[in-house]
């Protein structure tokens, strides 16, 4: 009996060490970065660069090529997505739309149009929670519901891109998402465009995008913004004049997987 009494704490310590060794941090990261200017890339810093690389996540492409990746967050419909789709079609520009469950339920026709016109639909979670504050199981459920509803509405069977709600993530949420087959897509160009009662006119959106544009930029825009919808055509046309081209995230993955095998999880 004494041997077992002495041995039990050893077993407990061994188990605790094994559990904590494989645990990952759930410290929330509120995504942010030093903005790009004068066509120099945005910079999130070495710490975040290494963390994202570990889980195959990204927020920008190569600094050596004038390629842009256009991404939209669609939490709800505010009447401007059709105009944005019209511009993308006219200018032959691919995009990805990160949708929530609310968007799929309230604007299925627009979601279907996105897919029908060759755009990618990404996962923005079902109910837009802070994923660092919910369990692994809840994260998986949030992602699965969007994927299933997207397939039902649009026919898109594959879904591999995830944008974390509210721009909040942690190493734990990166790991859970990767295990579910998702790549976190953050961004290197953004501005305060989502406040629908504080729209400032198309030139505000235009100036913010043009000032921050840089090679490899992953551009985040919200479709609820009238400013964005009104500025988008001129933005695209003038960036093309600067020598930029627009590619899809699938193009990004094909290029970066060759350079970075860790992304082939």
**Catalytic site positions:** 73, 222
Report the C-alpha dihedral over residues 53, 59, 65, 68, rounded to 10 degrees. 150
Nearest to 94 by CA among 69, 73, 64: 69
List all residues 6 or more positions away from 263 whose beta carbon is below 8 Å from its beta carbon. Answer: 56, 183, 253, 256, 257
Dig out the tokens for 127 from the structure: 């109910």
List all residues 6 or more positions away from 219 whose beta carbon is below 8 Å from its beta carbon. Answer: 68, 69, 70, 71, 187, 189, 190, 209, 213
Q: Report the Cα 262 to chain-centroid distance in Å.
A: 18
CA atoms of 71 and 52, how far apart (whole Å): 18
**Are 232 and 80 within 8 A, CB to CB?**
no
CA atoms of 158 and 150, how far apart (whole Å): 9
């Amino acid at each position: 009996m004494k041997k077992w009494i002495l041995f039990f704490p050893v077993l407990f310590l061994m188990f605790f060490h094994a559990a904590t060794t494989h645990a990952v941090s759930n410290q929330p990261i509120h995504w942010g970065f030093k903005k790009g200017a004068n066509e120099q890339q945005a910079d999130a810093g070495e710490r975040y660069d290494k963390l994202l690389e570990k889980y195959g996540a990204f927020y920008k492409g190569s600094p050596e090529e004038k390629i842009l990746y256009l991404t939209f967050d669609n939490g709800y419909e505010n009447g401007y997505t059709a105009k944005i789709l019209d511009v993308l079609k006219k200018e032959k520009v691919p995009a990805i739309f990160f949708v929530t469950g609310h968007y799929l339920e309230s604007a299925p026709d627009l979601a279907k149009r996105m897919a029908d016109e060759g755009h990618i639909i990404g996962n923005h979670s079902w109910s837009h929670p802070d994923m660092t504050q919910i369990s692994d199981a809840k994260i998986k459920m949030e992602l699965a519901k969007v994927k299933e509803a997207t397939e039902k509405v649009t026919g898109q069977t594959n879904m591999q891109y995830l944008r974390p709600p509210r721009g909040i993530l942690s190493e734990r949420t990166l790991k859970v998402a990767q295990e579910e087959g998702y790549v976190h897509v953050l961004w290197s160009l953004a501005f305060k465009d989502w406040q629908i009662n504080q729209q400032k006119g198309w030139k505000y959106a235009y100036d913010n995008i043009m000032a921050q544009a840089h090679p490899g930029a992953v551009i985040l825009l919200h479709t609820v913004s009238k400013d964005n919808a009104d500025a988008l055509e001129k933005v695209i046309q003038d960036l093309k004049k600067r020598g930029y081209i627009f590619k899809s995230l699938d193009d990004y993955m094909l290029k970066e997987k060759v350079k970075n095998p860790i992304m082939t999880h």
